Structure 1
Amino acid sequence: MTVHILHSLQQISAREWDGLLPATAQPFQQHAFLSSLEDSGSAVLGCGWQSSHRLWRDERGNAQAVLPAWVKSHSRGEYVFDWAWADACQRAGIAYYPKLLSGVPFTPVVGPRLLGQPSALSSLLEQGVAELAEQGISSWHINFTLPEEGALLAQQQGWLQRLGCQFHWHNHGYRDFQDFLDSFTSRKRKQLRKEREQLAGQGLEFDWRSGSQLSEAEWDFVYACYANTYWVRGQQPYLTRLFFSLLAERMPQSIRVVLARQHGRPVAMAFSLQGADCLYGRYWGCLIDFNFLHFETCLYQGIDQAIAQGLARFDAGAQGEHKLIRGFEPQLTESWHYLCHPGLRTAVADFLQQERPALQAYAEQARQALPYRQG
């Protein structure tokens, strides 16, 4: 078999790429999503993302497996924070960039990182590690892996595991939102109900749309809201307006957007993608803010939608301890890191050995803040 490095998704058809998707794949692994990032200029060399996907073909030229990857000149848009590692390298005179990342740009979602034959992963890893130094790459980072991928990576020499913690909502067979609330303690239930009632009292209404149901003017509004979440912090948005147009064209059936209106005027939105059994909340924003608007738009509306669609989970994004008291349960995540410099690898291994039990204790402690009734 031969490994090819793809510097553009244009080098492989959507049919061939998507034919490698495992049953556990989400919308984010689809050719449509990744090519939209590339074709819109959101994740390209000029932004510090150089496509470097590892494609394995057999002797007949048939694609057997692919490991999506990017050579990066920075650590933005990853959500596994290694800034301290990069700073330590700079102080020690060690080049930390460029580095290789396997994951999904700007998308901290646990999912398959190898697409295709699982048996190919060991060979892809071994060959990839052997080529890092000759390519001038300092390290390889595989973020938000599945547990079975982590088990395989743990058997590979030199790979270091890093834990993280997210908060996900799980559907325990709820009939509707009230049925979900009935699982809370009385005090927590009253608090959440009060938040929703206060917002409804200000004339706010919410409307769910698929990608094909939004007009261009509404897409302009969606992007304005998304971009505003960055501009108010003095930052540039990661995604371009064109990305949303391409996504609406290429995978409209996966898109779920909730629009918030006050007396008919749009004021906020939340953008999600829906997989086979999970709703993935990705972006949100508002042009006019209200108390509890974020919670309603990003959390409660998503829970409503997940229940209505019979979905097992709702992943509303990477961070936010405020999700705990609203029924989102802590979930540990795994990322794996190979660092070429022996001294750096030893230092990071020592750091992770201390960080790991602290993360496990944090997740266990966080469970104590959940609002559910005992028994």
Structure 2
Amino acid sequence: MAVCGSVIVRCCIPPSPFLGRRFDLSEKEKKPSSFSCTVATSRITALFWGFGRKTNSTQIQQQQQQQQQLFTLTAPEPEGTNNNKVISVSVLSSISEVAAAEWDACAVDATAPGKFNPFVTHAFLSTLETSGSAVAQTGWTPHHVVARDESSSSRPVVAAVPLYLKSHSYGEFVFDHSWANAYYSYGSRYYPKLQCCVPFSPVTGPRILLRDTPFKSETFDILLSAMKDIAAKSQISSLHVTFPTESECLQLSQKGFLPRIGMQYHWKNRNYKKFDDFLMDMKQSKRKNIRQERKKISAQNLIMKRLRGYEIKATHWDSFYNFYRNTTDNKWGTPYLTRDFFHELGSKMGDQVLLVVAEEGDELVAGALNLIGGDTLFGRLWGCHPRAYYPSLHFEACYYQAIEAAIELDLKTVEAGAQGEHKIQRGYLPVTTYSCHYLLDEEFRRAIEDFLIRETSQVKLVMKLLHDSGPFKEGI
């Protein structure tokens, strides 16, 4: 029992076949609850559909068993009223099982005004599935979690979580291969694991998508408990949330997740009106280098174009897919995304897609794919024609064109993806990224926690050194 002003809050989980135990949150958390009764809500009950105990990922998917998990929130109600709030939580085998408008309403509310993130939209995530990119056959079995308000006749979705059952660690950009090797060295199984993320995309943003309701914080706790119990009762090794917001990472670390930090390189718009304004903030040597690199583009008879929406034709996507395959063949060996993905992305997301292309005569020779968010341009993929090498074209297409687009669109940030210290001298500075990890085996958890403490200090030291030797003038 917790007292918050005149509101008394109690949250408990009655015994069920799924949990096999009673768990009273009021005993676990002595801090006052942040729940406020802006409506005459007296009871929240969450009904969770879980999984069987099989550890094989296919069996987990095929042998789902209906199990019930109940959460109750009680607060004083006006005399003579009986307003019960019932929340159902279910696991979906495809995002197509929820309406796009309802999922996107969660995505919009989960971001601050003006910070809409296109990667957590129904359009983007559904494209990954329908194109055959993030599906069971590629090791990404969708297990999206959705919460509905059952006390309303329309049963609106009040929360959504992009979640996948993974049989490997590829396409995540937060590397845990050494953890998997350690598990196997001691005869334990690391896969399958649960991954809350945007597949193949190291973009930052919200991961627990919550509608702005009076019971928002309670819904967050319910979803987290549900996901933990999927892992526990299915004997899955771990649950990972990658590239969440800093505030989400803090919340998750307070709920038993191990926080981990990483580093990316982002460009910040300091109210620039044109590209030269940005250059004037750079040290003279860096400014000179950028200008020289940009001159090489015209010297090679290359024409750069930024295309959006209807300007991007099917031929552009076919060419870009070939460029993408050239990159994956040389760098990773296996392409994550299918040709259909790019065509569907352009069709579904329209003007949110920005495709930078380089033309030599009448022929496309390179391209860079970006998505436009509320205040951020997200740089995603790059590729070029395999027959020739064009000096500085990668920097122009991926970095300088993105900066020009951000200035033109009045966006605050360009996220240029994972890795690459070469981005620093081109104006992209190190920023902290976050991930959170829930490991069920206590011994492995302690060992990984110790590793993460040491890794964190090293990452912070590297970031400080990189900032101290940055490309901008002193004081900027």
TM-score, normalization by structure 1: 0.97
Q: Give me the whole-angstrom Cα distance separating, in 2, the residues matched to 1:352 and 1:66.
A: 29
Q: Is the 8 A contact 2:160 2:210 kept in 1?
A: yes
Q: Give me the whole-angstrom Cα distance separating, in 1, the residues matched to 2:96 and 2:368.
A: 30
How far off its partner does 1:103 sit?
Answer: 0.8
Q: 3-state DSSP class of the match of 1:133?
A: helix
- The residue identity in structure 2 corresponding to 1:41 is G
Q: 3-state DSSP class of the match of 2:331?
A: coil
Query: Relative to structure 2, which stretch is displaced further, 65-74 or 51-60?
Result: 51-60
- The residue identity in structure 2 corresponding to 1:76 is Y
- 1:114 aligned residue: 208
Query: Relative to structure 2, which stretch is displaced further, 107-116 or 34-43?
Result: 107-116
- 2:405 aligned residue: 305
How far off its partner does 1:155 sit?
Answer: 1.3
Unaligned regions of 5+ residues in structure 1, if any?
A: none
Q: Give me the whole-angstrom Cα distance separating, in 2, the residues matched to 1:366 and 1:323.
A: 11
Residue 294 of structure 2 corresponds to residue 200 of structure 1: no
- 1:28 aligned residue: 119
Q: Give me the whole-angstrom Cα distance separating, in 2, the residues matched to 1:127 and 1:308.
A: 44
Aligned residue among 132, 151, 160 for 1:66 = 160
Deviation string 1:127-177 (CA, Å, 9 cap, x unpaired) is: 2212312113110000011111112112113x1000000000000011211
Query: Relative to structure 2, which stretch is displaced further, 280-289 or 228-237?
Result: 228-237
Q: Is the 8 A contact 2:258 2:437 kept in 1?
A: yes
Deviation string 1:2-59 (CA, Å, 9 cap, x unpaired) is: 2100110121111111121223441001100000000000000000001011111122
Q: Give me the whole-angstrom Cα distance separating, in 1, the residues matched to 2:327 and 2:349.
A: 24
Q: Is the 8 A contact 1:196 1:296 kept in 2?
A: yes
How far off its partner does 1:234 sit?
Answer: 6.0
Q: Give me the whole-angstrom Cα distance separating, in 1, the residues matched to 2:122 and 2:294.
A: 38
Aligned 1:1-375 pairs, distance under 5 A: 1-21=87-107, 22=109, 23-24=111-112, 25-60=116-151, 61-117=155-211, 118-119=216-217, 120-157=219-256, 159-233=257-331, 235-287=333-385, 288-375=388-475
Q: Give me the whole-angstrom Cα distance separating, in 1, the residues matched to 2:470 and 2:298.
A: 25
Q: Is the 8 A contact 1:306 1:314 kept in 2?
A: yes
- The residue identity in structure 1 corresponding to 2:250 is A
Q: Give me the whole-angstrom Cα distance separating, in 2, the residues matched to 1:93 and 1:374.
A: 54
Q: 3-state DSSP class of the match of 1:251?
A: helix
Deviation string 1:292-338 (CA, Å, 9 cap, x unpaired) is: 11111110111111111111011111111001111111101110000
Q: Give me the whole-angstrom Cα distance separating, in 2, the residues matched to 1:183 and 1:49.
A: 44
Q: Is the 8 A contact 2:202 2:418 kept in 1?
A: yes
Q: 3-state DSSP class of the match of 2:418?
A: coil
Unaligned regions of 5+ residues in structure 2, if any?
A: 1-86
How far off its partner does 1:109 sit?
Answer: 0.8
- 2:75 aligned residue: none
Q: Give me the whole-angstrom Cα distance separating, in 2, the residues matched to 1:73 and 1:138.
A: 11
Q: Give me the whole-angstrom Cα distance separating, in 2, the residues matched to 1:181 and 1:20.
A: 39
Q: Is the 8 A contact 1:330 1:363 kept in 2?
A: yes
Q: 3-state DSSP class of the match of 2:295?
A: helix
- The residue identity in structure 1 corresponding to 2:174 is V
Q: 3-state DSSP class of the match of 2:397?
A: helix
Q: 3-state DSSP class of the match of 2:417?
A: coil
Q: 3-state DSSP class of the match of 2:233?
A: coil
- The residue identity in structure 2 corresponding to 1:44 is V
Deviation string 1:174-202 (CA, Å, 9 cap, x unpaired) is: 12111111111111111111111122211
Deviation string 1:71-113 (CA, Å, 9 cap, x unpaired) is: 0000000000000000111111110000000010001111000
Q: 3-state DSSP class of the match of 1:55?
A: strand
Q: Give me the whole-angstrom Cα distance separating, in 1, the residues matched to 2:362 and 2:375.
A: 32
Larger RCO: 1 or 2 (CA < 8 Å, sep 6+):
1
How far off its partner does 1:122 sit?
Answer: 1.6
- The residue identity in structure 2 corresponding to 1:11 is E
Query: Relative to structure 2, which stretch is displaced further, 226-235 or 144-153?
Result: 226-235
Q: Give me the whole-angstrom Cα distance separating, in 1, the residues matched to 2:268 and 2:371.
A: 17
Query: Relative to structure 2, which stretch is displaced further, 29-38 or 227-236?
Result: 227-236
Q: Give me the whole-angstrom Cα distance separating, in 1, the residues matched to 2:377 and 2:332.
A: 29
Identity of matched residues, %: 41
Q: Is the 8 A contact 1:324 1:369 kept in 2?
A: no
Q: Is the 8 A contact 1:53 1:70 kept in 2?
A: yes
Q: 3-state DSSP class of the match of 1:123?
A: helix
Query: Relative to structure 2, which stretch is displaced further, 73-82 or 190-199?
Result: 190-199
Q: Give me the whole-angstrom Cα distance separating, in 2, the residues matched to 1:233 and 1:299.
A: 20
Look at both structures and tell me which one has the larger radius of gyration over its CA atoms.
2
- The residue identity in structure 2 corresponding to 1:137 is I
Q: Give me the whole-angstrom Cα distance separating, in 2, the residues matched to 1:330 and 1:8.
A: 36
Deviation string 1:262-283 (CA, Å, 9 cap, x unpaired) is: 2332110001000111111101
- The residue identity in structure 2 corresponding to 1:26 is N
